[in-house]
Structure formats: C-alpha cells, structure tokens
Structure 1
Amino acid sequence: MPAVVITFSNCTGGSAKTSTAAAVSIEFAKTTGKRILVVDIDPQRDLSKYFGFDQPEALEGQSNVVDVIKGNAPAKAAIVKPVIDNEYRGVDLLLGADHEGAALEQWIASSSLPAMYMIKALRPIINDYDVILIDGPGSMGIVGQGAAMAATYVVAVAVPLMKEVRGVTELEKHLIRLNDDVRSEINLPPLEVDGIVFARSPVRVPRQSPNAVRTGGTHYHDIIEATTEAYPDKLLLPFIRTSITVPDAYSAEMPINVFEPDDKASQDYRDLAATMIERGFTAPKTRSLAA
C-alpha cells in the first residue's frame, strides 16, 4: 500500500514546521511501529541538521533531495538512517540540501509538469514506507506547491502571531488555486488544510476548554480564539507550549523530544502525535477522487 504523505506547511518562515516534523516523526515511529520517512525540502535544511547532517550537500558521494528532483539520483540513494544522540530513532531521512531556493524554483519551473516534481520524486519509494512526512519551505512558490501536491494530508504549522496565522489563510488560497489549476485537470482529489498545529504557544489548550489557564499576553489568546472559531474542526491539540528548552534544542540541532524528553514541549509533541494518529493522519484517506 502506498505511504500516507503528510506535508507540514505555511506561507511564512519561522512557524516551527521543522521542529514539528522532526518531533512528530520520532513519536510516530516510537508508538506505531510504522516505517517512517522524513523529507527535507526546506533550503535551510534544518531537518537534516536535526537528524545529524549539518551540511548534507557536502558529503562526498552522498545524494540529496536536489539530486533526486533533478533526476541525477534515485530517491533511495538520498535516503539515510540518521543516528541522533548515538541511537537510530526508527526514522529514515531523505537528505536536504542548500539549494538556493530561487535556483531550484527556476529549474523546476522549466521542467514538464512542475507542480508534480515531488510526486515524481517519491513515486519509486512510495511503497517502501507507511508514512512520509515532508518539511515544506516557508513559502508556496513552486517548491512549496510541489510539496503540497504530493500530500495525502496538509498540516499547517503556526505560532500564535498575526503574520504566521495569516500564513495559514494564504496557504488555503494556494491550495484552492492548485485544485482549480492542476488537480482538477488530472483527476486528483482536492487539497485542503487538514489540520492546524500551534507551536510556541502560551497555552496547551484553547481558553474555551475547561482545562485551559489564561497565561501570556492577550494578543496570543485573541489569535488563538479567532483561529479556533474559524477552524473549529482543524485544530490539532494540544498546542505546543513555549519552553526555554526549545531554543537550546535548536542550538544543539536536535529534536526537542530527544534533547529533553521530559520537557513540557516534548510532552505536548507526544500528545500531538497521539492526536494525529487518533484522527487518522497515519491512515489513507477514504474519500473518492470525485470528492
């Protein structure tokens, strides 16, 4: 059976997509026993750094995601088994690369069916894994569009700030355009924002919940409440709470749930992964092509 593909996306950078992709992939592997692959397509290649590869494009003889996209290497040649803190965590990595986003965008744009580039790249390995998680770039240019096109589920990741939440709205608009301009023409089911994750949040659950405690600034809560009202069925709980350990993990280039498993953000990511599993994000969609 082909893998379920989850693309973590937003139309702005700094939204915690990479931290979320790294932590959730490890929790999926730990709790489900499924075969997990993470794909690093963000030009900052932070996901590869989290998994132990500081400059993947500099590794002699090692292929990376750009080689795969350009047809210079098969996907299997760019996949590694990363060791984090001296241990393999059950997650394979399709290595990223410093691809100077604009140059790769131009190359993809000049190819045939540019929006299909990630689907083409993953096709040879789609049956080798149960779940593939893509860390998309912080924009919806051609690279970001292709990452979304390959998705079974699109998950928006944002911090509760105005710019990042606007990025979710912009993401929706881009998905609608992809549906109208590309997917409807080739009989693929429409894309939508299937879930929204709030990271670096002052609260673990929305204020409407009986377990919520109002902490942090009013601005945060107003944005969270407005998003809860706009997307009542899309929010994935818990929100990932802000923690002084998170920047330490980032500096150490390690997923937070490996760097400090007992941190409150690590606990939240464990529960977020459980929520995603419970809500079916690791299972194929059942809707028909006409849905």
Structure 2
Amino acid sequence: MVRWERGVSHAHFVEMLSQCLNLEELRIIRVWLYCDKKKKKKNGHHNFSGGVTNERRIDARAISTACPKLHTIEYDRSYWAGNLHDEIWPLGVMEHLPANVFRNLKLSTDGYYPFDEFHVYAAMGRHPTSLETVVIDTAMTSHAIQSILNTCQNLSHLQIGSPIDLEDTSSTIWAASGLRHLSLCVKADLPHSSLPGRRFYRPYYLQLPARAPTVQEKMAFERLDRFYGQIGRQTELKRLDLFLDRGVQEEEPDSDSYSDASDDDDQEVEESEDESEEEVEKHGDKSSLSYADNSEQLAKEKKGLERQGFEKKESKTVVQGGP
C-alpha cells in the first residue's frame, strides 16, 4: 500500500508506482496530484491545467503497466473541485489493466463534469466478473450508472451518489443478482399528492369517485413496479438505501384530479351563504336597520328641541302679560 501525506507531481507519482511491481492496493486520500507543466495565459496567470488531458491518460496507462496486479483503488479528492481529467484517471487504470483483475473501486471527488457512460463502460466492461465493490460519490450521468448495473455480474456492494432515472433502472435486467449492500438515488416523475401553488388533489387511486389513471401515471407506476422487481431479485441483500428524487410535474392536473376536499370547501361556502340569507330574511338587512335606528333618533331629538322652544316662548308670554 502506498500513501502520501501531501501533494505530489505526476512524474513523482508514476515514478514511485513504477517501482511497486507487486502493488495490489492503492489508496490516495486527500492528496493533490498536480500537473508538472505550467503554461502562461495572455493575462500572465499560470494555467495549471496545461497538458492535463494527455498526461492523465499517460499516467493511467503507466500505472496499469507498472502494477499489473492492482485490484483496489481508493481515491478521495472530495475536498478539492477539479475538472474531468483530474478525476478520471482511476477509470483509465482499470481500462488498461489485464481483464478481470480489478475488484474494488472507491471514488469520491467534486469534479465539474459528470462521468459519462463511455468512460464508465470502458472501465467496468474490462472487469465484468471480477468487480465486487463499486462506491462512487461523484457526478455521473444516469446512463453511466445504468452501464454499471448492466455490466458487473458479481457485485456485492454498489453505492452511487448521483441520481439515476427510474426508466434506466428498469429497461433491462441487472447483471448482478448477489448484491448485499445497495445504495441508489432514483429520480422519478411520479404523480404528486400535493403541488406547490396549487389546490390539493389526490392521486387517482385515492379519489372518490375513482377515475382511470392517465397514460403518464400508468407509465410511471409500471417503471416503479419493474424497479422493485429488480430489487426483489437480490436474494442476498442485507442493506438497502433508497432515495427518491421526485421531479416536478409540468402538466396541469385534470379537472377530475381535484379531490373531494375541494368539493367539501365549496359546500361549506354555499352553506355559509345560505345561512346569511336566512338571517337577512329574519332580521332584515343590517344596513337598513341601522338607517332606521338613526332616523328615529333624529326625530326624537327634533321633537325635544321643538318642545323646549315652546316652553321658553310660553314662559316669556306669561311674564309680559303681568300687571
């Protein structure tokens, strides 16, 4: 086993490995593999990615040639984001090793670009019967994950961090049937029970009265059923970690898809309106009642003022008519 505590150049990296002819396990954790070539851009800054593409491919071929018995690679560079060619060299080593020699791959990076199915299939297809453990916590396309499921026959531990489309998990039967640890993130556009910004509605199988499922719902649940069938074939499974990444429905739900909860709300509104109408019939309109009360009050005040004026006039007359 080879271990570095700090960054190392490609030349030194390959030179060290070329002396380990019987190397079987290679673990590189938190070590920066930097490029020896430095080119200057027009603005005067160094370009540390100069010559990266060819140099990575040469490294992979040189390592596989120097260490033909290598069967395990663990590469953790999750603390530093790099480009595709910085992270893909372990797959290149697998591609150039003798067939059906490699057994364990653990890869954790923060690359800018996801691994595509061409690089993954070139590496995994070289060792379809010997691969036992594949743990990849880096960006991958859905078809790349599908190529692993359809290629590796004797996998016992599969752990993928990137999501895979539900359709890609059920298109063909998985090559492996003896998985013991499976961890997948499945992306599926399943019907939502509640969508943001819309009224609550239930799936077709919970609605009253029941309605027939749409074509999109039928296809989604058929794929989900086939995916569960794939898991059911793993008779030796001991640990299962499934994560569901639900897509957002773009289509508006049908008018029949609204639940009876909305109908109940409409009924409550109608009942409240009926009750208000009954109250108006019994007691009259509130505005008319308030107007009547005000008019009566004004009439009383006017009558009181007239009465006071009459009393004052009468008393004055009595005084003037005295001796």
* TM-score between both structures, scaled by the size of structure 2: 0.27
Which structure has the larger Rg?
Answer: 2
* TM-score between both structures, scaled by the size of structure 1: 0.29
